[in-house]
Structure 1
């Protein structure tokens, strides 16, 4: 540029101004919107969305009445007592409900939550206990969930159904840090309940792989299985007897007004279980749905 030339003025060029405005608008779109405020009074149950992060209220929880859960009386009492103590601000333990499929593990968690909220009324100055479900694939977002609820006046049971980890999965380390061992750890207003078909949550292949590849197999396996040690309560669910299975069937049948021909129901329910290779609460409920459908009755 010579001494007689003038510097180019972008402000005087409308095309440059428009281009800058378009760039600024595009950059603004890249900035994530602030999360919507959480209305914890909207419901007593929520599903955690890790992408936002956000709590989605669930106004109608898919649950079974506590009275219909048969064959798990001792486990029911232990979990309900633990949940009630926590709701009252007393010490309570994280709980791992493990064992046979279809025996009411997740149903018991949801029923215990409803039972405690039903007994502890606002008249006694009680704030409803909140239930938050977190999906297994979002476990590594637990710290974000803890940050959402840490400073609120409510108490929360964070619930993960069918929790398990496979060989290439390292999210279990995030869970260990949240339950115990991290700098912040679990907030005092949060309790963690999980269900799993596995007692130690981790797959057998995952543990055996550590035995075969680690320099010190014993220490490596201990590090893996120590996750379940973070749960103060281990509640084991086992396959039910024929008597317990029939008690479940007739409990549902009586509740929904289906138990008119008890001999036929017993015969059909046992055949139903044999064809599915299992006796469980889930099998009993599936038979009851079939029976109600054949009788033209709506249940739910």
Structure 2
């Protein structure tokens, strides 16, 4: 393997910006004076895009290694043992990559040296956990002093987190027959959700069973709006990301593609939640039939690494009316009713999220005020919160969050 072949280690399905620096490096090696600026600018673009801590070129090589799917990385993702022959081939490749990673750039223009070594970007849109993971990987690789140590760091990383954009990203969406990474997910954790302890316990227990390969149920979280149903699923993802949990958001109009999505995901070692937010159907919508077949009833068995979590404001997902119950045109009226009720019955677990009582609402307000360092007399805070909830949707976690955000912003403006 030579440096030209190393171009094959560029990431798959990542912004095309990542493919350019290695070519610039090769050109710079041949004609340093002519291509020095281009090399620096190409590396800087990668740094600006990913904002990973570390030396510019080392950040770039780290990204290449973290994203590249091959026999070695995929075997470790599947928790397989690496035999001696494959390890020997990998070490041969890594002997070049290791020396490239530790390349001496002291000959670079002194003007670029400070930024090349220490340039950091404080603000970025990458998910905090993923950003920390990549920064940590880059740091560990930078501290290696042998090819074997370099190999061990990579082996540990691939075994723990996997490889490619499934390994590094938490969340995905389906778009035009492709699964697309979502670069930033709200960083809620279950501890951020005040109250709802029994609901969280059910969700955690089912998710843990799923991650352990035990029998787990599809889950429907239903109830009043603003009570934390969607937030609970985001929090589950953040809390169990390091255990191999991933999430794919699918919209109602995409249900016909569920078999295609499942086929794409079933051979990866991760555990995938197919997430359906605000799920409900009008009486004229028939997409629910695709979902019924996928959940239970089709010939193809749903893989053990895929589960469905959905949220809805409705207990019964398909709209019904009183006129339907008196429909004289439907010969088998009971069959028609059962058709509409059967979807929700295919979720093994249903969890109710209802509006909190007054005391629970004020407890959420107090907890959020403490979290966001809002210093205010509690009696006044509660009085303002009660006025806010009357005008803005009643008792709910969402109302409490919006109130605290308003008060924090108001305090900030008062200090200007």
Q: Are 2:337 and 1:221 aligned?
A: yes
Question: Mind listing any 5+ residue stretches in structure 2 that lack a counterpart?
Answer: 1-11, 14-68, 70-163
Structure 1 residue ranges without an equivalent (≥5):
1-34, 121-127
Give the match's secondary structure for 2:168: coil
Instruction: Work out which of the residue numbers 185, 197, 216 in structure 2 matches 1:73.
Output: 197
Of residues 37, 48, 53, the one that matches 2:174 is 48
Mapped to 1, the partners of 2:372 and 2:393 lie a distance apart of 25
Which protein has greater RCO, CA pairs closer than 8 Å, 6+ apart? 1
2:35 corresponds in structure 1 to none
3-state DSSP of counterpart to 2:259: helix
Among candidates 324, 330, 336, match of residue 209 of structure 1 = 324
2:281 pairs, out of 165, 170, 181, with 165
* Correspondence for 2:377 among 258, 261, 266: 261
Q: How does 1:8-157 map to 2 (within 5 A)?
A: 39-49=165-175, 51=176, 53-117=177-241, 120=243, 128-157=244-273
- Tell whether the 8 Å contact from 2:199 to 2:351 is kept in structure 1 after alignment: yes
Report the secondary structure of 1:239's partner residue: coil
Deviations 1:136-169 (A, max 9, x none): 2222221111111112221101111000111211
More moved, 101-110 vs 59-68: 59-68
Q: Is the 8 A contact 2:266 2:305 kept in 1?
A: yes
Q: Which runs of 4+ in 1 moved over 4 A?
A: 35-38
Q: Are the counterparts in 2 of residues 83 and 113 from structure 1 also a CA contact under 8 Å?
A: no
Q: Match of 1:15?
A: none
SS at match of 2:186: coil
1:219, distance to aligned residue in structure 2 (A):
1.1
Q: Given the alignment, which residue of 290, 297, 300 partners 1:174?
A: 290
What is the SS of the residue equivalent to 1:204? coil
C-alpha spacing 1:239/1:188, structure 2 compared with 1 (3 Å): same
Matched residue SS, 1:231:
coil
Per-residue CA deviation, residues 55-84 of structure 1 (Å, 9 max, x unaligned), is: 111232024232221221100011011111
CA RMSD, aligned part only?
A: 2.0
C-alpha contact 2:220 2:351 (8 A) present in aligned 1: yes
1:212-235 Cα shifts (integer Å, max 9, x gaps):
142111111011111001100010
Cα pair distance change 1:211/1:193, threshold 3 Å: farther
Decide whether the 8 Å contact of 1:160 with 1:193 is kept in 2. Answer: yes
Q: State the Cα distance separating 1:277 from its structure 2 match.
A: 4.0
Report the counterpart of residue 287 of structure 1 in structure 2.
403
Trace 1:220-259 onto structure 2 (pairs within 5 A). 220-259=336-375
Whole-angstrom distance in 1 between the partners of 2:302 and 2:394: 38
Rounded Cα–Cα distance in structure 1 between residues aligned with 2:171 and 2:283 = 32
Indicate the larger mover: 55-64 or 101-110: 55-64
So what's the TM-score if we normalise by structure 2? 0.58
- Structure 1-normalised TM-score? 0.79
Aligned length: 252
CA distance in 2, matches of 1:144, 1:173: 16
